[in-house]
Amino acid sequence: MLPESVLDALPDAIAVLDAGGSLLSTNDLWKRLGDLAAIGGNGPHEALREGLAAVLSGAQEQFCVDLSFDAGVGGVSGARFFTVTIASYPADGGRGAVIHQRDNPDTHETLRALRKSEEGLAAAQRLAHFGNWEWTFSNGVLVWSDEVYRIFGLQPQQFPATYDAFYATVHPEDRDGMTKAIKRAVDEQSSYDIEYRIMRPTGEVRVVHAKGEVQYNDRGEAVRMFGTVHDISERKHFEQLIRAQADALQQATVPLLPVSDDVVVLPVIGEVDAARAERVMTTLLEGIEQRRPSVAILDVTGVSSVDRFTAEALIRSACAARLLGVDVILTGLRPEVAQAFVSLGIDLGGLVTLRSLQRGIAYALGRAGPVDSRGSALPAHRAR
């Protein structure tokens, strides 16, 4: 047997055991590593103990395993990773064993980097309100990242992470749609992509956007699903506010105002997008059908700027009104708006344009028929 001075010169931890498994000799590094956590316990250590028994009994000549334990080297606690090899060794006329324990610093650094990466991912998910999940179909067990628990207003130790428990948190009105989306993803092998509401234990309702994919085994059977969930409550709230404001603006700024039996005014205020352009034309044409005026005034005093889309939308509305036999007057053109019409090469198609709404009304009343002493239009006799 090699003397301990020779064993101490070796770069790895070494221990020599007799046929009964008792230590005959070790080097200094073995002693500092704490006798390999007494070669006991469960998990990898249990496998190590079984391997040692197999070598000592002669069932195996050699056994090798990778394992980790808290080595506590140099007074510093922390998990260390080792490759342990056990080989048979003649001892006292019997069969002993030599245990060779080699440190794997690369594994340690890899896992430390992985742990750091996971911490960074958790921080990013927390800031973005974005979590990830995994669902095993066979047992209904869910695995959630910490951020998913936060999104649902739950604590990991207070919530059984199962599909049934999760289903109970979904808003009752959204459960059927979510179930159908999952079934479609499984049956059609397509992506899972849905927005639904959840109810926190406090009663607060949140809106989430979930995406996922289904994983299948070799027989084509769905075995699990994994994906992400994103809390979009604030975004949905702002979208609702914007829609409400846009609806209110459209309702408030596109009325058809009667000036007389024969003259109506349609004031246009603010930006004109596709939806508002459609509403301007609809309001104008429906008003013409109901009131049967001779003259319609499109007043754009409230429009501070125009692009080609806005200009062409206004002209289309005027042309549609003229097809119904109504003269159209365009009023309130600001200098910058008039310049834009010219720069864009917009053909006004013979429309009468006046600078102010007041002038437009006076012109329209005179055109529609005679006025009385109070400046009101007298009824004009024309075909209805």
DSSP 10-58: SSSEEEEE-TTS-EEEE-HHHHHTHHHHTT-SSTHHHHHHHHHHHHHHT
Residues 209 and 288 both lie in one domain: no
CA dist., res. 9 & res. 232, Å (int) = 62
Distance of CA 136 to the CA centre of its chain: 22
pLDDT at 276 over 80: no
* Boundaries of domain holding 182: 124-231
pLDDT at residue number 211: 94
Which CATH number belongs to the domain containing residue 353 in this structure?
Answer: 3.30.750.24
Could you list the beta-strand ranges (E) of 47-191.
62-70, 79-91, 94-103, 130-136, 142-144
Tokens standing for residue 279:
């509403």
| Domain boundary pick from 231, 261, 289 | 231
Distance in angstroms (rounded) separating the CA atoms of residues 251 and 183: 42
Q: pLDDT at position 326, please?
A: 93
**E-state strands within the chain:** 13-17, 23-26, 62-70, 79-91, 94-103, 130-136, 142-144, 192-199, 205-216, 222-231, 257-258, 263-269, 295-302, 327-331, 352-354
Strands 295-302 and 205-216: unpaired
Domain count, the chain: 3
Averaged pLDDT, 35-54: 64
Residues 199 and 298 in one domain: no
Task: Choose between 92 and 146: higher pLDDT.
Answer: 146
Confidence band of 71 (pLDDT split at 50, 70, 90): low
Neighbour order of strands in the sheet with 295-302: 257-258, 263-269, 295-302, 327-331, 352-354
Same domain, yes or no: 181 and 281: no
Looking at residue 120, what is its pLDDT?
66
Are 267 and 359 found together in one domain? yes
For residue 346, how far is the Cα from the chain centroid?
43
Selected residue with higher pLDDT from 277 and 208: 208
d(CA 317, CA 297): 11
215 lies in some domain: yes
Q: Is residue 236 part of a domain?
A: no
Token couple for 56: 């000592």
Q: Which of 173-182, 216-225, 272-281 has the lowest mean pLDDT?
A: 272-281
Residue 201 has what pLDDT? 93
Same domain, residue pair 173 and 215:
yes
**Pair (86, 136) in one structural domain:** no
